[in-house]
Amino acid sequence: MEQKSTLKEIEARFDQDVARFSNLETGQQTTLDASFNMELITDGIVATTPDLKKLLDIGCGAGNYPVKLLAKTSINPDVTLVDLSQPMLEKAKERVQPLTTGRVTTIKEDFRTAELEEAAYDVIIATATLHHLREDADWEAAFAKFYQLLKPGGSIWIFDLVTEDHPAIQHLLFTQHYGNFLTGLKDAAYRDHVFAYIEKEDSPRSVLYQTHLLQQSGFKTVSLLHKHLCFASFVAFK
């Protein structure tokens, strides 16, 4: 793990990529079913939390998920946006604030150390963020914090890169099939570029690892929403 990117290195990369991540259609072009999962998660939040008052988006980027969510509802929740990148936070607030009369708060910090009110949030969104966690202790502390931050009955919605526990299945789904997808986007050099920064920057875990950890952390129900090769979305309710 010592060879992985530091938080500062991750922050610097995202500081330079605000424009791309502000685009609802192309912001996650290397992510399988990104638009579908955004629709699925935001529809799910509307369906399960009609009286949403406080929303927390960790690793919010340019705010795509709150933008999509608030366009689907007439409610006006308070929104807290947490990210390592100040330019991302500024763009997210610029886009989110006009869509709610609630308070929009930005916090530039690692969500694990950010001072956030416990038992305060109806919904937490964590998309394309958790793969930056490293050791088991990081994952355990993060999921425990999610549980502490949510109100009773609150939910966390996750969409991210995932891995497989069986090496041959990992090779099939990630190296072969996802590799073919990336090559189709541009070419083999682009595939190798994406694979290189995933190897340098990311340390994803399997769906089973994460759903089991959510249950261990106290969540009452956990549901897999969608999985396509090495990307998956799931939700847990406190």
pLDDT of residue 6: 57
pLDDT of residue 8: 54
Q: For 5, which DSSP code? A: P
CB 128 within 8 A of CB 98: no
Please state, as a whole number, how many other Cβ atoms lie within 10 Å of the Cβ of residue 205. Answer: 19
pLDDT of residue 9: 52
CB 67 within 8 A of CB 39: no
Ramachandran angles phi, psi of 18, nearest 5°: -65, -45
Q: Is 83 exposed, middle or buried (0-12, 13-18, 19+ CB in 10 A)?
A: buried
Cα–Cα distances in angstroms (integers) from residue 152 to residues 23, 147, 185, 220, 234, in the given order: 34, 9, 43, 10, 18
SS3 of 7-22: the string is: HHHHHHHHHCCHHHHC
pLDDT in tens, the chain (238 residues): 456 555 555 444 444 444 444 455 545 778 999 999 999 999 999 999 999 999 999 999 999 999 999 999 999 999 999 998 898 899 999 999 999 999 999 999 999 899 999 999 999 999 999 998 989 999 999 999 999 999 999 999 999 999 999 999 999 999 999 999 999 989 999 999 899 988 888 899 999 999 999 999 999 999 999 999 999 999 999 9
211: which 2 tokens? 């759903």
CB 9 within 8 A of CB 122: no
Tokens 């995933």 — which residue? Answer: 198
Architecture field, domain 7-164+204-237: 3-Layer(aba) Sandwich (3.40)
What is the pTM (predicted TM-score) of this model?
Answer: 0.89
123: which 2 tokens? 């919904």
